[in-house]
Structure 1
């Protein structure tokens, strides 16, 4: 009996080794080095895990995420134009312009999502429910999604989702297609190499995810410095600007009171940042912290600070600012270089 058992053991050993190898290979295909830090990164990672669990490729997942980012900012509770929830409007299948959820389902697809949520006794805002609806209960669009999920050409999948699954009004706009491809490729890089902490900063996309979640809210101490501090905190470097931040101030080497001195007040370079003093318009990129001296809209000696959302050419750019024209809340502003703020002292950029 012992001899037979030994022989059987030898027979099964290669099988066990093969099974272990297959298991190890499968695990290596999933993302293990990505640590989501922001709410948008958590959503993106959840989408990736769902797609891979259902046999889809990472390229497809990132193409889908890139489109979702432009539709909803990866905020599952978002309603188009940030409108409040109104039951009568939401449940009217003939009414458009009231899109909801990660993919901004509208009209009949919106109503089907809401009915499915009621059937499952879940909130329509639930991420798992939205993914399940998209994958299995969105009629022929679910079949289309599964077809795309096997693809590996991230740029082509991104455009196909936009044109044939999202069917957005901008589906044939080359600029919109380019922006979504940029988002998809950025997410692929982030989900493959690890969290970059501060969300997306796509030139022309006009959105930085961690700041989109703060729109209309008082951030930290409500001052312009507070919003920039919040933004910097999300990178988890050795630099923290205080101004109501729960982690206080660190990495400071100079005056931390004046917004116009932010570029010289901290040891940016040794903590993975780049500073450009007295920049020109051609230096500015989306995602940059931008600091202004007194003059124009910066009415006090403290100056002003914000974060660049997009750069559109012809000296035009969009910013996130706080304690500006809309008060002590995070808001977006269309700016013209040298007009509203004639004295740009520095820009600070994560390397």
Structure 2
């Protein structure tokens, strides 16, 4: 550094110091002069006050100009000082810091060389450092040059990428963002950061856990800015401490920090609330993972029966346990079945301080949740390997989906296992090392502290007594409904006490298919009724073996999947470009959107979005039904969203496996609930997802198909609303029901007085498809008139017949009598009738069970 540069720096510092001092001195002098003048003059009259005010105003104007000049001088000298410091190479402290930074960087990078994971970090850090240097150089050249360079680079890369894809038959298009190398690098780096963030020193003792909690703070500092001098110092000290303690055990820690048995107890309690609160209107399967993550973040290590507000309560005040807090939280989430909430809704808006997060906490917690999406919610407990693969994927961690979760399955029945989603024939691998015990087709791997059991394993690759390592092949999945597993751990070594635990905590990254189903009584009419009729009639025409039960099971599923609408696509309800616009339905790029574009990474198995009635999807595990539907439509010269095209695709264009399942369901007369489950598990491939809702939908479709003018198995919402006295024990016995139209309008030329018994029975015959006539006289005359027109007389009731009551009997008037319609006949001869104009009520159907009497006569319609 030249002598002149150092002299310039000294002069600049001196000038800045003088300018700063002059400004401060001038400010103080003016303030003191004003105070002194006010004290000496002590104005009393208004004139004296005006004089003083004018004098002070004039002085302030002069002071303002002088101070502005001094401020500008201070600013100028400060700039000169900064420039002189830059020419001098920075301050002394900065010079020392750079030297230390370089030396620490060199040391850390050298230490990284012998470790694969740390080499990744070193490589990422070197890339970051190089990028920073290039950016600084670009800034020196000028912002305009940077813009030109960026634009040119983007254009060159874009053209090269398009040419690359064209040469490989993909068209002259850019590679999707989700498949680009830079995106994969970013995702890999984010997962690495997530693992580092949640790492822990060990979990052998409470003391070690506290140490890990303390160490996590400097680790976060390193992750936020891995190139800072502070980061190097922390990493250096960290490696030194780890080397001395020797406690690097792998694994990790999320916000969930409960003892593993307390964790299972909490999960079990929440699952029990779900079962206790479920009813015929809503089937609760709360997202318990959300609750566990939040509680771990807000309340850390807790037990159900400990008090969460003990610090805030006096000794004489009532205290509340975490069990009560969880019950309150469950109510907040599920209290309104028509407006179910998420944890984010609760902790951002609740007034309960034990469930609320501050703005800073929300920001921190959201970052943790993002990382949890990458590596799972329970990194601390991930002791087990993947059940279905022994190959680690550096690019992504696909979730293991659970179709039936650990916990209560009814109010009183506990299920200790889990059913993992899998295809029949999928390979099974050892999730841990241990000794094999085989009982029948069940395989258990045992250690001194854990037992993992695979139920019903096919094609066994191990023998009883074998020692296996994690990743060894065990056998194959035998059931097409998934793989059932159980996990048990040693809870108390001294007492030799074992306990079932939720395997979902220990497997790497799991997701649950069971979600809350809100069940409603739907009135099938209008467009939805037209769709059901059209689909049933089309399928029946194509295949006479099709049954109403089978079609109902299929449509019950489609009602949940797509609202029985052919022109549907996953995420089409969102805002464009992900959501649908007028031109989206024929846009290949829009149709081919996948997991990242539609769901932001939430469902990595989705390659191309689901389409149509059954939401046909291309998935990462090899299914190409989305593409198959589009190709089938192209081969037929039709739009993929044509209803008949999709039905034809299901019957003839889908893969043989799915066509067989479809036919098995459509041809069956089994219970509709069972068929709905079969269709969900084997055709939809999404076992457990809103099953109760799908079964409810199927029941209502079946009731409609049996009686298009009626309602559900409970008589139809419209029928029940326009009825009174309906005996519920007949709900499952009737094949058809009168609709509300029978008591609201005159059907098919009905000329009888509105509201009378004769008017209603005429309408009922219209809906039943039986011959119907005007001018049959009063109610007591109807059987005689019908027999004269070809009906068969009888003194015993038959379902579908008309019953006349002689005048003066059965509370009827002597001159009129009464007439009703026979709906159902019991084995003992009693019979259910529907009627109108009872007790003066002429706008509702009345139901009653009668015993045959001598004053009843019956007319049976011709076949």
TM-score range for the pair, normalised by the shorter chain length: 0.3 to 0.5
What is the TM-score normalised by the length of structure 2?
A: 0.19
Q: Which has the larger radius of gyration?
A: 2
